Amino acid sequence: MLNSVGAGGATVFPLLGVAAPPVPGSALFWFNLRRSGLADSRTVHASCPVLLGAKSIANFWLHESGQEFRHRCGTSEDE
């Protein structure tokens, strides 16, 4: 999180029942794959609306074990 907000803006993981409020200088980290390489659906997440102010974030993606080559992006949701 790069800045503070007046209200709202939490990152929520609904399947885990976890909400992380925005805190300047903080970071969230999680693995979205199981050891088998399959997706861990528990890591589905979203951002709650910012009610007061503006939220600035930065994403940093780590690619592990060549997963991007085993699970290629397709042109449809079924791929």
CATH at 35: 2.60.120.620
pLDDT at 78 over 60: no
* CA gap 79, 73 in Å, rounded: 7
Q: Which residue has the higher pLDDT, 75 or 5?
A: 5
Q: Which residue range forms the structural domain that includes residue 62?
A: 1-78
User: What pLDDT, on the 0 to 100 scale, is given for residue 42?
Assistant: 94
* CA gap 1, 39 in Å, rounded: 25
Angle at 55 between CA 11 and CA 51, to 5 degrees: 80
* CA gap 5, 56 in Å, rounded: 9
Task: Give per-residue pLDDT as tens, 19-76.
Answer: 999 998 889 999 888 877 788 999 999 999 999 998 888 888 877 666 556 656 666 6
1-20 average pLDDT score? 90
* Domains contained in the chain, number: 1
Q: Residue 24 has what DSSP assignment? A: T
